[in-house]
Amino acid sequence: VIYATPKPAPDSPQVWRMVKAYGSAFVWIPFLYRFFTGFLHWVLALVIMPGSILYMHGPALKLLPKGLQESINENNSARAKRREELIADTHGTPILLLTPDGVELDAVYWAGRGASRDGPTIVRLNGNAEAFELQDDILPLMYCTKGINVLLFNYRGVGGSGWAPVCGSDWIGHLLGLWSVPQAAGLQLDAWSAIDFLL
């Protein structure tokens, strides 16, 4: 539209002459807006520490400051140990859920006492900076003893759940996944995939 309009007359408003003279710069405004808001969101996510940063694993971990890497690695080790204890102590079944966009989600399923697979089931959706491994043994047992199945899972990027590969590369998928954290559509797909597994 800017290029199709005639050259402004000398007595045209100053703003219109500026728009016509620098029209190509205006084409970049939406791109620059998206880039800087995405970058600002990523910086704020580092401060707020969502689960995908707090429980980070994979190639992008090396991009963080050394002190933060050590803290995250220590946290990941403790969480992995707790995951194994939770599964062993409560007789859970580890499963891998696959979302429609190719993300593999780490999950654990507990069958309720006397319950069929299509019987009543609790699906717990984690809060911010939460992983299912941090749950107490009482949570699944409380429902299983009453004949209710339980499914706990981690969202993409949290714990053993990965990111969707991009162009066949987990590395690029990890970086792009972090760039868009938290992306509501991805979290909704994760929840939908967990529920779809039960149907």
Rounded to whole angstroms, the Cα distance separating 187 from 116 reads 28
Tokens of 165: 């590969």
What amino acid occupies position 187?
L
Residues of the chain with pLDDT > 70: what percent?
73
Instruction: Tell me which of 175 and 25 has the higher pLDDT.
Output: 175
User: Alpha carbon of 27 to those of 13, 22, 33: distances in Å?
Assistant: 21, 10, 11
Closest CA to 164 of 149, 152, 151, 179: 179
Stated pTM of the model: 0.67
Antiparallel, parallel or unpaired: β 104-110 and 121-124? unpaired
Q: What is the pLDDT of residue 172?
A: 79
Closest CA to 190 of 137, 138, 123: 123
Q: What is the pLDDT of residue 159?
A: 80
Contact 121, 151 (CB under 8 A): yes
* Sheet bearing 93-98, strands edge to edge: 93-98, 104-110, 149-153, 121-124
Task: Note the pLDDT tens digit of each residue in 62-91.
Answer: 777 888 788 888 888 888 898 899 889 889
What amino acid occupies position 141?
L
Task: Note the pLDDT tens digit of each residue in 101-157.
Answer: 888 899 999 999 998 888 899 999 988 778 888 888 888 999 999 999 999 999 887
Helix (H) or strand (E) holding 108: strand 104-110
How many residues comprise the chain? 199
Residues of the chain with pLDDT > 90: what percent?
22
- Which residue in the block uniquely carries the two structure tokens 């016509």? 20
Strand partners, 120: none
Which band of pLDDT confidence, cut at 50, 70 and 90, is reported for residue 47?
low
Tell how far CA 110 is from the center of its chain. 24
Segment 166-183 shows an average pLDDT of: 72
Strand partners, 153: 107
| Vertex 161 angle, CA 158 and 162, to 5° | 100
